[in-house]
Structure 1
């Protein structure tokens, strides 16, 4: 795993802009993830004319039952007819899903994470040409004793606008496999935790308040909800 580069965020996350499309290799074990899906995604702020930004997550991932490690590929696409202009992708983990590293991206300072999230990275996508896409290899941990969600907002580089947001959308299984080498998880499925008492685990979802990411104001969507989770930024040091 590559070393984690810590960044201090004051006012907004500052990320480098790249004019070329950045395509990163997919980590081992991620080649069986199936087709990408935009499930749980929704346009937020109005994108420039001719720009249509979306994200894709794999329909399935696999969690190693010994280490709890998993690999996820996140893709940003411009399905429009015009170049997007410089944008960034945020990768944020919730509950049992912890984002440990995203290749080519910077860790979000703990004080700037949305309330309820446990980890996050900011990725400098740069400007995507019409029809272009770029993918990021995500190393994550998944506690199979909990539910787990991931969120992918696509924003301007200063975070003032969020053009698209996928999630927080869950990965999970209703059929845990504690005796197998790995447990397959499906996108859009609430996890049934392994072990006794799993049915009593609190579920997260629409209605839980999420604080925008720092002064950038990242709006987080609840998967399947009709509206946005809007709230004021954290009072101290946001």
Structure 2
């Protein structure tokens, strides 16, 4: 076989390999408008004319491998042309990600948490003027032996309508480093859990890949056309004075 023929084959293999990397590295469920920090977000109930609330999460967080602690900034924005009216933000944790505190916000009672979640806080945003944002410092822990997700619904103050919901969207690492001081996790990345006590990666549960992020969000939206999970018929969350 000629050297020219061998060179052509090698070039084709390199191009094919590069294409596969690009396709596989594209984040799943990144269907929200705006930057990557808003991925996994969807409109649920129609907001009043001129109101467009969205949320954003950091693209990268870091988990302390000793304490399992991490910090996440949750941001709410009104990208519309009119005042949002009184709204609230819910911060809910799933799987290995447990929300432990949000300053100025009230913990959601266990009986009021959505199915499958482990923790949550309700934050009174109030009225958000056009073009304005407000951010919350979310304290959390992350068990790297599990997958972890976070969800940010934005509702009317009484919880009867959900204008926007981001997630549950995963934070994760394709190659966790349990022996390092900290493990960086990326938004929109399914965590490849670390086996307890070792560096071996392990997938947890036979159905790990059965329900992708987009389908999970769609399932939650389908749970109630007028709101999500527990928002219908629930008594209004107590507001922190």
Relative to the length of structure 2, the TM-score reads: 0.72
Partner of 2:38: 38
Which residue does the alignment assign to 2:179?
179
Shift of 1:229: 4.0
Q: For 1:200 and 1:130, how far apart are their aligned partners in 2?
A: 44
Asked if 1:74 corresponds to 2:74, the answer is: yes
The answer to whether the 8 A contact 2:113-2:230 is kept is no
Q: Which residue of 2 aligns with 1:230?
A: 223
Aligned-pair CA distance for 1:180: 0.7
| 2:58 paired residue number | 58
The answer for the alignment partner of 1:157 in structure 2 is 157
Give structure 2 stretches of 5+ with no counterpart: 1-34, 236-241
Closer, same or farther in 2 for the Cα pair 1:205/1:120, shift >3 Å?
farther
Which of the pair has more CA radius of gyration? 2
Q: Normalized per residue, which structure has more helix? A: 2
1:180-195 mapped onto 2 (5 Å cutoff)? 180-195=180-195
- The answer to whether the 8 Å contact 1:205/1:222 transfers is no
Matches within 5 A, 1:60-209: 60-195=60-195, 196=200, 198-201=202-205, 203=208, 206=211
Deviations 1:85-138 (A, max 9, x none): 000000000010000001110000000000110000000000000000000000
Unaligned ranges ≥5, structure 1: 1-34, 209-220
CA 1:139/1:227 → structure 2, altered by over 3 Å: closer, same or farther?
closer
The match for 1:31 is: none
Quick one: structure 1 residues 60 and 133, their matched pair in 2 at CA, closer, same or farther if it must change by over 3 Å?
Answer: same
Whether the aligned pair in 1 keeps the contact of 2:193 and 2:204 (CA below 8 Å) is no
- Give the superposition deviation at 1:222: 2.6
